[in-house]
Structure 1
């Protein structure tokens, strides 16, 4: 997967991006997401996955999706096999987000691929991809920022913030997340 790094572009670029869809598709997704995905209605994971695939997501086998998951752009989402997506997960995927096999994104965690450049008056949009490799565990209420790769079997502890990539088998904690030990 090619990484998107659009730090030099402004909000006008985003409006015309291949990472977005036209207004009609975006509105239909917003409504569909609110009813079926970002909801506490009891809807089987298989139906949620079918809906996400209809909107362009690539999803593997044995994926579990708990209630109240918010996904900004399913067309920018790739999920591997045997993945657990916890309750109240927020996938803010203006950029591409890839989640590897056997990974767990716990309740309330956030993947934020978009941010704004506070150094500019116009707060230009910054979009960077996120890669969650195989076997990664993102703890409850943790945040993974744009441009971060969580390498194989890394752990981001509860309520931590990953602003830089996590090494394989590393356990990270804090804000910003620091390596505390190896798995």
Structure 2
């Protein structure tokens, strides 16, 4: 008996009748968050009551808590109220960094922040994404690296797999979905090179 041919997917335009999103089929595949469920559940509560709590202004307390959950936090780091960190065990922050109010480090994958980095109010660093060509919107991800001296301005978004180069600036409200070259200023959505950053010597 002849076997039935295997069903193969065709690539069609998203506005065609054949294109259909099927979120019930979504899967994270072999993704491993790095800690068992009970640790993540405890962190969810600690994050909500200590880090995200606007009534807790203490940077020192936040750093103690983050280190207890596996984060690598350098010296002289300043953490403002209302920050949100998905998985502290996947976070590294270098010396003398500033993390502003309402910053969301959505680190399903590692986020590495070099020394003397400023991440301003409401910035969003997102390591997770979806394959939009897949009807099941399958999970994709990639770590984020912010190199020494970079500045992620207020309300900017940095997407998965991106490296922000040394002393680069991602302007306010920008959406950065590709690497930012060292020493350049990027603005807009999608973020584009604006000009070279000029700096006075110390």
Contact 1:157/1:173 (CA < 8 Å) preserved in 2? yes
Larger Rg, first or second structure (1 or 2): 2
What runs of 5+ residues in structure 2 fail to find an aligned partner?
1-26, 198-202
Q: CA deviation at 1:42?
A: 2.4
Contact 1:36 1:43 in 2 (8 A): no
- In structure 1, what is the Cα distance between the partners aligned to 2:109 and 2:183? 25
Given that 1:92 and 1:112 are in contact with CA atoms closer than 8 Å, whether structure 2 keeps it comes out as yes
5 Å-filtered alignment, 1:1-183, equals: 10-14=27-31, 17=32, 19-183=33-197
Q: For structure 1, which runs of at least 5 residues remain unmatched after alignment?
A: 1-9
Q: Deviations over 1:93-129 (max 9, x none)?
A: 0010000000000000000000111111221111101
Preserved CA contact (<8 Å) 1:20 1:94: no
8 Å contact kept, 1:93–1:113: yes
Distance (Å, rounded) in 2 between the aligned partners of 1:158 and 1:23: 36
TM score, norm. by length of structure 2? 0.83
- Name which of structure 1's ranges 25-34 and 39-48 shifts more when overlaid on structure 2: 39-48
User: Between Structure 1 and Structure 2, how many residues are aligned?
Assistant: 171
TM-score, scaled to structure 1: 0.91
Task: Report the Cα distance in structure 2 between the residues aligned to 1:34 and 1:133, rounded to whole angstroms.
Answer: 28
Post-superposition shift, 1:61?
A: 0.5
Question: How much is the aligned-residue C-alpha RMSD, in angstroms?
Answer: 0.9
Structure 2 SS opposite 1:36: helix
Quote the Cα distance in structure 1 between the aligned partners of 2:129 and 2:82: 23
